[in-house]
Amino acid sequence: MLQGLKRASLPLGVLAVGIAIMAVLIALKPKPEAASELPRPGRVHIATAALVVTQLRVDTYGEVRPNIQTDVVAQVAGRVADVSQEFVEGGRFEAGEILLSIEDADYLSALTEAEARRAAASVDLETALADADVARQQLKGVKNPSPLALKEPQVARAEAALAAADAVLSLAKTNLSRTKIGLPFRGRLSATTVDLGQYVTPGKVVARAFGTDRVEIRLPLTDTQLAALGVPIGYSAAPSAGLAVDLSAQVAGEHYRWSGRVTRLDASIDPTTRVIYATAEVENPYPEQGAMQAMPLAVGLFVDAQIAGRIVENVISIPEAGLRAGDRVFILNEEGLLEIRQANVIHRGGNEAILESGVAVNEAVIVSAIRNPIPGMRLEAIDTLSSDVGAGDTLAN
């Protein structure tokens, strides 16, 4: 019995000794030193806010369209007797140049007949006047002779006949001139619908053409962009005036630029898009014949536009990357802590934002992304990006 108790207590004793040894080791374990360093601050890029005097610029876009676009219509009937070498799609023409001729034999005959009738009517009038003069001489002693006796109705009829003959002659000359078809402006043909030998009737569209002295570009503007221009809805510029606009486009693998002016704004807002359209004009968009190096501002070309707006003074310029959603700005203060400010934005576009308030001159504006920004979090600047590119100059948004 006693031997059994000894054998049963032996494992318990070993376990107790092990527990005691472990307790001693835990008690004698060296305690780790408390961390004395603060968490490492996040690293950000910053830019310095600058005080500037600058001209606001509005970026928009549009499609080039002709200032004049018309259908060329035949006004008389006949067979096409001759066409110009430029009577092709893309052909150029000058004001008054003959593009197409209609056979004029019938109209020459009509003109000759009208001239003959006019000559006969002139002779009839002279005869009537002579008869009237004779009648007056014969009726000198007669008191209150009748108009018929004085041949006055005959003279009036002869005068009316001459006037009618003049009208017929004028119409014959007009119809003859209409056999030569041209346009009163310089331009290009966009389409032709008849060819040599084809019979045309009055009202037949023989070609389509557009003027090349000037082109227009319709430019959509939001309410914010309109405010940057500083002009009212319905604005109309004086001749040779208007807001300067720079146009650019990629053509044939090359980048080209043109200059023009915004001459007017629509008097109403588009009810579908809620934008207002400005119209820019460019003079002489097509180079003279032989100017191989000049790229025309071609009709149908899609262009980017930058309009020069109003000048603002004593405003703050920061990189556009520093302006966050909701017009907030992240500032790194002198203590290295994050401040979140609400800014009053005058204009933004391209690479720059113009502020009226919310940021002071020379403050450090954070331009890089921050995950979970919290006011008062500690940050460290990696470098400072210059934001005074437009200081004292014109913004290039």
Secondary structure of the chain in the HEC alphabet? CHHHHHHHHHHHHHHHHHHHHHHHHHHHCCCCCCCCCCCCCEEEEEEECEEEEEEEEEEEEEEEEECCEEEEECCCCEEEEEECCCCCCCCEECCCCCCEEECCHHHHHHHHHHHHHHHHHHHHHHHHHHHHHHHHHHCCCCCCCCCCCCCHHHHHHHHHHHHHHHHHHHHHHHHHHCCEECCCCCEEEEEECCCCCCEECCCCEEEEEEECCEEEEEEEECHHHHHHHCCCCCCECCCCCCEEEEEEEEECCEEEEEEEEEEEECCCCCCCCCCEEEEEEEECCCCCCCCCCCCCCCCCCEEEEEEEEEEEEEEEEEEHHHEECCCEEEEECCCCEEEEEECEEEEEECCEEEEEECCCCCCEEECCCCCCCCCCCEEEEEEEECCCCCCCCCCCC
> 251-254, long-range: CB within 8 Å, 24+ apart, which pairs?
251/295, 251/298, 251/301, 252/295, 254/295
pLDDT at 40: 78
Give how far the C-alpha of residue 395 lies from the chain's centroid of Cα atoms, to the nearest Å.
20
d(CA 62, CA 285): 15
User: Please, which pLDDT band fits residue 50 given cuts at 50, 70 and 90?
Assistant: very high
Please tell me whether the overall predicted TM-score, pTM, comes out greater than 0.95 for this model. no
| Residue with tokens 């950000």, as numbered in its chain | 44
d(CA 347, CA 35): 48
pLDDT digits 0-9 by tens, 258-269: 999 999 999 999
pLDDT at 289: 56
pLDDT at 180: 95
Give how far the C-alpha of residue 299 lies from the chain's centroid of Cα atoms, to the nearest Å.
12
pLDDT greater than 50 at residue 228 = yes
Find the radius of gyration of the CA atoms of the chain.
45
Burial 4-35 (b: 16+ CB within 10 A, else e): eeeeeeeeeeeeeeeeeeeeeeeeeeeeeeee
pLDDT digits 0-9 by tens, 320-348: 999 999 999 999 999 989 999 999 998 88
pLDDT digits 0-9 by tens, 149-193: 777 788 889 889 999 999 999 999 999 999 999 999 999 999 999
Domains and CATH numbers, the chain: 43-55+312-385 (2.40.420.20), 59-66+213-311 (2.40.30.170), 69-210 (2.40.50.100)
